[in-house]
């Protein structure tokens, strides 16, 4: 079976080739790694392949899916957990197999969340540069103790739970908001409503999926409900946040600090070297001007352990498809 990888990076090749040689050498799989992101403009590259493997910013709307079907593609393998970029209703109508990799390494994203919080709070990114320049002044590097602070986790699934566990280890009081409550989270923290969480949390961390109901969950009204000066962290999906509203809240100082690993318009920027270009996203550029904003380019998942797991589970999903056996990670 021939499989085309869209949005392929060197590390995708490395981990998928390793998994192929280690556990799937006899499966008759042939991989082609393609750099372009999948969209209506690039879908023609899928001709001649029976399956495609895609990532977070590949666009699989109804039109792209219909074209894929027409080319003879029958399986779509998401090498990620989120699936907001796939029109699942259209995929079902077209009888396409779609599977994802849920919860591949919740600790990878949880630990990155803490890396962002710790960096933003204790300004280690600024201290690093100062020390290299021989500037040992501390002014501007003042942080706060995490110990004793209240952290609000929105979405207490696998990543939210792993994040809550780490904050608990720092001595934080952990609050959670999730329509689906778990005993595992109750052992660490307390479930409250969103209206109860926002006014008391010193740090609000987003870990829910992007759905119609969660799009712009953080907007003017919810920002106004937050504790003045609180820190907002988003390692989930960019569109959970109304970025323009967040910029207003940063300007008014209602929001004390912002750490994001995801951005609503990230597909135009992330996973590419744009250092020699003009970046014309004025909203993104405005965000970069705040000293209390920290941005990483969707790297929460980027650990060895997570990439090994992603490759392994993606190929197991494909095996389920080729052997026509039930796949617990199937979405359509
Ligand atoms: P999960 O399915 O285990 O947990 C998501 C939780 O969100 C569930 O408990 C669900 O009930 C809850 N939820 C749904 N609607 C909600 C709402 N309106 N308010 C509050 N909670 C709500 O998923 P996960 O593995 O923990 O992943 C969470 C998200 O993290 C994914 O959807 C994905 O977008 C993102 N993610 C980011 C990276 C990264 O590299 N930055 C990597 C993996 C996943």
Assess whether pLDDT exceeds 90 at residue 104.
Answer: no
Q: Which atom of ligand 1 is nearest to the CA of 213?
A: 18
Give, to the nearest 10 degrees, the angle between helix 106-122 and helix 158-169: 50
Q: What is the mean pLDDT of residues 139-167?
A: 98
How far apart CA 206 and CA 258 sit, in angstroms, is 12
How far apart are the C-alpha atoms of 112 and 132, rounded to whole Å? 24
3-state SS, residue 120: helix
Q: Which of 205, 209, 235 to mutate to test the pocket of ligand 1 (most atoms within 8 A of CB)?
A: 209
Ligand 1 site, residue 100, Cβ cutoff 6 A: no
- Tell me the pLDDT tens digit for each residue of 275-308: 999 999 999 999 999 999 999 999 999 999 999 9
Q: State which of 57, 78, 201, 236 you would mutate to test the pocket of ligand 1, scoring each by most atoms of that ligand within 8 A of its C-beta.
A: 236
Whether the per-residue pLDDT at 103 is higher than 90: the answer is no
The pLDDT tens digits for 190-203 are 999 999 999 999 99
Cα distance between residue 273 and residue 315, in whole Å: 29
Q: Where are the alpha helices (DSSP H) in the chain?
A: 10-23, 62-71, 88-93, 106-122, 124-132, 158-169, 183-186, 194-200, 220-225, 243-251, 282-288, 304-322
Of residues 268 and 221, the one with the higher pLDDT is 221
C-alpha of residue 158 to centroid of ligand 1, in Å: 7
308 is written with which tokens? 């090994």
Total residue length of the chain: 332
Task: Encode pLDDT of 170-218 as tens digits.
Answer: 999 999 999 999 999 999 999 999 999 999 999 999 999 999 999 999 9
In the chain, % helix, strand, coil (3-state, to 5) comes to 40, 15, 45
Residue 266 appears among annotated catalytic residues: yes
């Amino acid at each position: 079976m021939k499989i085309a990888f869209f949005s392929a990076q060197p590390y995708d090749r490395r981990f998928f080739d390793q998994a192929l040689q280690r556990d799937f050498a006899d499966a008759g799989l042939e991989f082609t790694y393609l750099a372009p992101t999948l969209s209506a403009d690039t879908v023609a590259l899928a001709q001649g392949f029976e399956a495609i493997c895609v990532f977070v910013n590949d666009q699989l709307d109804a039109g792209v899916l219909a074209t894929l079907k027409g080319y003879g593609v029958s399986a779509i393998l998401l090498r990620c957990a989120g699936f907001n970029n796939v029109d699942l209703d259209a995929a079902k109508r077209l009888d396409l197999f779609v599977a994802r990799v849920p919860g591949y390494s919740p600790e990878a994203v949880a630990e990155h969340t803490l890396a962002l919080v710790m960096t933003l709070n204790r300004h280690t990114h600024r201290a690093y540069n100062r020390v290299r320049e021989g500037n040992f002044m501390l002014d501007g590097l003042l942080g706060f103790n995490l110990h004793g602070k209240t952290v609000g986790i929105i979405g207490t699934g696998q990543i939210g739970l792993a994040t809550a566990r780490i904050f608990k280890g720092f001595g934080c009081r952990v609050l959670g908001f999730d329509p689906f409550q778990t005993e595992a989270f109750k052992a660490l923290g307390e479930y409250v409503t969103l209206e109860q969480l926002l006014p008391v949390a010193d740090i609000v961390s987003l870990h829910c999926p992007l759905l119609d109901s969660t799009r712009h969950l953080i907007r003017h009204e919810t920002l106004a409900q937050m504790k003045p000066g609180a820190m907002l962290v988003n390692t989930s999906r960019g569109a959970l946040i109304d970025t323009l509203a967040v910029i207003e809240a940063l300007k008014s100082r209602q929001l004390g600090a912002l750490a994001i690993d995801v951005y609503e318009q990230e597909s135009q920027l992330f996973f590419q070297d744009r250092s020699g270009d003009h970046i014309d996203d004025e909203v993104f550029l405005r965000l970069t001007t705040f000293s209390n904003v920290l941005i990483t380019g969707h790297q929460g998942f980027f650990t060895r352990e997570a990439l090994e797991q992603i490759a392994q589970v993606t190929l197991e999903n494909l095996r389920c498809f080729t052997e026509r056996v039930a796949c617990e990670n199937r979405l359509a």
